[in-house]
Amino acid sequence: MSGPRAGAGLLLGALLLAPSLAPPARGAEATDRPAAESDSAAAERESARAAALEAIQRARRRAGLPELARHAALERAAQAQSDALAANGDFSHRGRDGRGPAERVEEAGYGPLSAVGEALAHGMEAPELVVERWLESPPHREILLNSHFSEIGLGVAAVRGSRPGHRMWTALLAAPAVAPDAPRVGNR
């Protein structure tokens, strides 16, 4: 297929590297939600996240890659990005404050990190369609099927003032830093 369909948009993803020295603490729970969100809206958001994650995991399995683990800090950063983009009508990897994915991820409590990648999409309701479009786009595919990434956070938000089902999607994939003295498999 060629490119996104009418009413759907994709922005090319960016892969950023950030040096670090110590491994981060892993997140325990990846289900944060805005305080004013209803239970049904939270359930719908979680269902969409789970369906998108399963589609990504299927693609990684087909490519012979390990599955990604959900991480609470990545999920917070991804959700905050989706919420901000949906509320402001923006569609950029850089926030209005100039911060990019690496800064947002570290601010959310993930870090230090060795790499982070972000994929954005808007205009699509179905999680499987979002992932399909990302996989059709070489820069997005490179992020989703990157063997270096081991953890993921997904965000989805309804775009205010738009047609029903118009959503803003964010996928943040990252790799935690490894301490220089940590044992590495295969290095003896």
Q: Judge whether residue 11 has pLDDT over 50.
A: no
Strand-pairing partners, residue 122, are: 9, 168
Mean pLDDT lowest among 5-9, 72-76, 159-163: 5-9
Q: What is the pTM of this model?
A: 0.75
Task: Over range 146-168, report the average pLDDT.
Answer: 83
Q: Smallest Cα–Cα separation from 66: which of 143, 172, 151, 155?
A: 151
Mean pLDDT lowest among 42-46, 102-106, 178-182: 178-182
Mean pLDDT of the chain: 75
Torsion of CA 133, 136, 142, 145, to 10 degrees: 80
| Highest-pLDDT range among 26-40, 81-95, 125-139 | 125-139
Predicted local confidence at residue 146, as pLDDT:
95
